Amino acid sequence: MTFNPPGFKTFMLIAVGFGLRALSRVLERAGDMAGDTGSRLVNHVSALVVLVAAGACFIWALKMMFFDKPRDTVEPPPAPQPVPQPADIFAERREEDNFDPDAALARYMRGRGAAGATDAPAPRPGGFGRKGL
């Protein structure tokens, strides 16, 4: 026998049971106050039927709490999707294991000369970078 904590349906069955029990009392008192024997019988029988229905509600609620299969437990939410990896924009440079700075400078100087800056005065050697460009 396992105990299932009462849910909404169980509480509603218990509440309906108590409501039917109170209605049974009202019908029984009405039967006690009636003067005619026929109306007294109708009120007492209807009070008895309503009282049996209230007992059935209580028994059903107890069955749900103690004799039913355990209710499904709430499953934890699924694991979040893995974070997508950012696009690798430097893949080409990683493939170049050995970087040749002289070749890069030669490519730069070719592009600079093609832009029409060949007649510009040569820069003076400074304190930073390649000397004597």
Q: Global pTM?
A: 0.49
Give the helix ranges, DSSP H, for the chain: 8-33, 37-66, 91-95, 101-114
Average pLDDT over residues 80-96: 67
- The answer to which of 27-31, 45-49, 82-86, 101-105 has the lowest mean pLDDT is 82-86
- Which has the closest alpha carbon to 15: 78, 74, 60? 60
Give Dmax over CA atoms of the chain in angstroms: 130
Q: What angle do CA 9, 14, 19 make, to 5 degrees?
A: 120
How sure is the predictor about 14, in pLDDT bands with cuts at 50, 70 and 90?
A: very high
Instruction: For residue range 53-86, list pLDDT tens digits in order.
Output: 999 999 999 998 888 776 666 788 888 888 777 7
Q: What is the pLDDT of residue 47?
A: 94
Q: Rounded distance, CA 4 to CA 73, Å?
A: 11
Helix (H, G, I), strand (E, B) or coil at 32: helix
